[in-house]
Amino acid sequence: MADEFTVKIEGFATPGCGIARVDGQVVFVEGACPEDVVKIAITKKNKSYANAKVVEIIEPSSHRVKPFCAMQKVCGACQLQFIDYDYQLELKRQIVQDAMRNIGGLDILVNEVIKSPEILEYRHKIQYPVSQTKVSKRILAGYYKTGSHELVNIKHCPIQPKICDEIIDFIREKAFEFGVLGYNEKKHSGDLRHVVIRNSALNGKNLVVLVVNASDVNKNIKKLADAIFEHFAEVSGVCVNFNTKKTNVIQGNISKCVAGRDFVVEKILGKSFKIGANTFFQVNPKSAENIFKYVKDYISSNFKKPTVLDAYAGITAFGICVSEVCEKVVSVEENTQSCIMAEDCLKENVIDNVEINNMDAGEFFAKEKRKFDAIILDPPRKGCTKESLDNALKLSKGKIIYVSCNPATLARDLKYLAEKGARVESVQPFDMFCHTYHVENVAILSLI
């Protein structure tokens, strides 16, 4: 195969690549849109496919638009920003449809993707890796280039609230001033590994988390935390998270609040939630509200005061949001801090029909004897184990509501459930992560 070809992009695939064919072989083209005619350069060859990048756009697709962010080509965060938003949604629906067919073997029509209410400044959780330059020791914070660990220093990001840019810029300046060292991934040295900001869509307050390569708060980190809290009225608190492992995992298990409060408050469907340093909560609260409403409306329309299990519950957001249309909600979550936050949320919202279980979902499934009218599964990207799926089938009286951010593992798990006799009623995608290839889905399954 030669190095360069002119091709027409025929399709689209995860992770945000156009699909072309050269001499019958599939080529995945980074930065290409369906209907583009482009000159490509082959970057990698395999037996069954090749990877390529765009060298020249000869005839642009009608769906191509000018990216609204100057950093789009070098920052790996918004892979689809050069494609008009409505067509992004159709491509995401196709990604889910292809996963259902090719991985799940399911003959089901995936619904149209429900739009995000906001497509700019929608991202309310920011996670920036931190490093520093070799000579000047200037602090860098931003996102990695696609497929690399080369850090792009981001000064302005249009998909996150403007205050986050200001906080990050202040941290760069003060970290350098206070002698806080940026993290060196290769040497596993330095102080500050990541900055995580949780911004509240409710009131604009921010919880800042400094992830450090240490097991305690040193004086320079403390000075930095105090400076952030004192400078920004919009910062409700600053926490330090300890992560000394050689890992790609961003945060460790332990955090310490060193200034202000250790949470921000978010509101979904009229319910208040406290979100802490180690608490999972959706990055796009307004799109998340669409998902919670969809699940709540389904339960309300199909049951009269059911008993519902909320598994992989986090701070029990699903359980709390659906509680008023349920007789009882039983939630299970292994993260202790999330369970503590969930208990606080129940008191704050005066809810008395939700039971919190702080334990691994698999262990809970294995020991639980009660049966539930509906089970909500909201696992991490890797999906569920076969044992957990077997137990969900055993504990459900008839319905499983499976929430997933990964179409591939969702399709795999739906295939397994279908082979065990479940019927997939519907798959509804939601745009939680605008301008990326990621897509959230809610699948409804019936066991009757």
pTM above 0.75, yes or no: yes
Domain ranges of the chain: 4-64, 93-115+284-446, 125-268
Task: Tell me the C-alpha distance between 331 and 335, whole Å.
Answer: 12
- If you write DSSP's letter for every residue of 46-97 in order, what string do you get? -SSEEEEEEEEEEE--TTB---SSTTTTT-SS-TTTTB-HHHHHHHHHHHHH
Residue that wins the pLDDT comparison between 325 and 248: 325
- pLDDT score at 150: 87
> What pairs with residue 223 in β-bridges?
none
Pick the CATH number of 125-268 from 3.40.50.720, 2.40.50.1070, 3.50.50.60, 1.10.1660.10: 2.40.50.1070
pLDDT attached to residue 87: 98
Q: How confident is the model at residue 73 (pLDDT cuts 50, 70, 90)?
A: confident
Q: Is the pLDDT of residue 45 over 70?
A: yes
Q: Does 104 have pLDDT greater than 60? A: yes
Q: Is 157 a catalytic residue?
A: no
Residue 5: φ, ψ to 5°: -145, 155
Rg value, the chain, Cα: 23
| Residue 16 in this model has a pLDDT that exceeds 90 | no
Kindly provide the b/e burial profile for residues 259-292, where b requires at least 16 CB atoms within 10 angstroms of the residue's own CB.
bbbbbbbbebeebebbbbbbbbbbbbbebbbbbb
Q: What is the DSSP letter of 349?
A: T
pLDDT at position 418 = 97
pLDDT band at residue 2 under the 50/70/90 scheme: low
d(CA 261, CA 258): 9
- Tokens of residue 12, six digits: 């689209």
301 Cβ neighbours under 8 A, 6+ residues apart: none
Residue 120 pLDDT class (50, 70, 90 cuts): very high
- Counts of helices then strands in the chain (DSSP H, E): 9, 22
Average pLDDT for 169-184 = 96
Measured at the CA of 10, the angle between CA 15 and CA 99, to 5 degrees, comes to 45
Q: CB of 175 within 8 A of CB of 195?
A: no
93-115+284-446 has CATH 3.40.50.150 classification: yes
Distance CA 45, CA 416 (A): 33
**DSSP code per residue over 384-408:** --HHHHHHHHHHEEEEEEEEES-HH
Confidence of residue 128 (pLDDT cuts 50, 70, 90): very high
Q: Which CATH class is domain 4-64?
A: mainly beta
For residue 387, what pLDDT is reported?
A: 93
Catalytic residue among 239, 384, 405, 434: 405
**Helix, strand, coil share (%) of the chain residues, nearest 5:** 25, 35, 40
Confidence of residue 77 (pLDDT cuts 50, 70, 90): confident
Q: Please, what is the average pLDDT of the chain?
A: 95
Q: What pLDDT was estimated at residue 15?
A: 81
Q: What is the pLDDT of residue 265?
A: 95
Report, as an integer, the average pLDDT of 357-377. 93
Region of poorest pLDDT, from 147-156, 297-306, 323-332: 147-156
Fold matches, 4-64 and 125-268 = yes
**CA-to-CA distance for 241 and 239, rounded, in angstroms?**
6
